[in-house]
Amino acid sequence: ETGVTQSPTHLIKTRGQQVTLRCSSQSGHNTVSWYQQALGQGPQFIFQYYREEENGRGNFPPRFSGLQFPNYSSELNVNALELDDSALYLCASSYDRALDTQYFGPGTRLTVL
């Protein structure tokens, strides 16, 4: 049990819709990273938030956006969904951007039809 929770567990959307995924970090963790994991692939870095500011971003278009709140919960928003957005979305929390204390949540499985 990592203390990182995500909601919802599963989600089905249609192409063109918008989706919001939520993550609750482990208590005291001020850094959250989001990853996209396609079936049979390793996770791909979307972005990281540190103390409510975006700290780094991977090769994802602007329709992927995020927020981190003072209570260390966070959101991943995806606009104009495409079929290729179907994947497992993982959040991971850590303290002060230290990745060797980074804990992953169980993920949200998004299916875009």
Partner 1 sequence: EDQVTQSPEALRLQEGESSSLNCSYTVSGLRGLFWYRQDPGKGPEFLFTLYSAGEEKEKERLKATLTKKESFLHITAPKPEDSATYLCAVQAYDNTGKLIFGQGTTLQVKP
- Residues forming contacts to partner 1 in the complex (CB under 8 A) are 2, 4, 31, 33, 35, 40-45, 48, 50, 55-58, 90, 92, 97, 99-100, 102-107
DSSP category for residue 86: -
Question: Nearer to partner 1 by C-beta: 38 or 83?
Answer: 38
Per the DSSP assignment, residues forming a β-bridge with 108 are 89
Q: Which whole-number Å values give the CA distances from 27 to 21, 24, 44, 75, 103, in the listed order? A: 19, 9, 25, 16, 11
Question: Nearer to partner 1 by C-beta: 33 or 74?
Answer: 33
CB of 110 to partner 1, least distance (A): 14
Question: Nearer to partner 1 by C-beta: 70 or 100?
Answer: 100
CB of 13 to partner 1, least distance (A): 20
CB of 104 to partner 1, least distance (A): 3
Rounded Cα–Cα distance for residues 69 and 29 (Å): 12
Closest CA to 21 of 41, 5, 37: 5
